[in-house]
Amino acid sequence: MSLALDALTILAVSAGAFFFLAGTVGLLRFPDALSRLHALTKADNLGLGLVVLGLLFQAEGPFAALKLIGVWLLTLLAGATVTQLIARTARPGGPHE
């Protein structure tokens, strides 16, 4: 049982690490600010989501699991907001419409 859980953890965390890697490559390689932000949000949302999913299999009890999910949700919220704010400043028309 624990072997199966460990295997699931390794699988999910590795997939998460792949998204972080892809997001970082995108951040470094994409030509303009909006595409770079697009790459970065994939790392934040999917990458961290998969890492949290992997860690859920190792969580000690339901409260620890809920905390992990809470961390992911808060990061999603903060990441999405900050991306919006940066994108608004970065786009050609400037921060105001």
Residues in touch with other proteins (CB under 8 A):
74, 77-78, 81, 84-85
Round to whole Å and give the CA distance between 78 and 93.
24
Contacts by residues 34-39 (CB-CB < 8 Å, ≥ 24 positions apart): 34/87, 34/90, 34/91, 37/83, 37/86, 37/87, 37/90
Helix (H, G, I), strand (E, B) or coil at 53: helix
The residue (of 21 and 77) whose beta carbon lies closer to other proteins is: 77
| Residue where the block lists tokens 């704010």 | 85
In the complex with other proteins, the residue whose CB is nearer, 8 or 86, is: 86
CB of 81 to other proteins, least distance (A): 4
Smallest distance, other proteins to C-beta of residue 95, A: 10
Cβ nearer to other proteins, comparing 10 with 78: 78
Least gap, CB of 31 to other proteins (angstroms): 21
| Angstrom distance (rounded) from CA 46 to CA 54 | 12
- The least distance separating other proteins from the CB of residue 57, rounded to whole angstroms, comes to 20
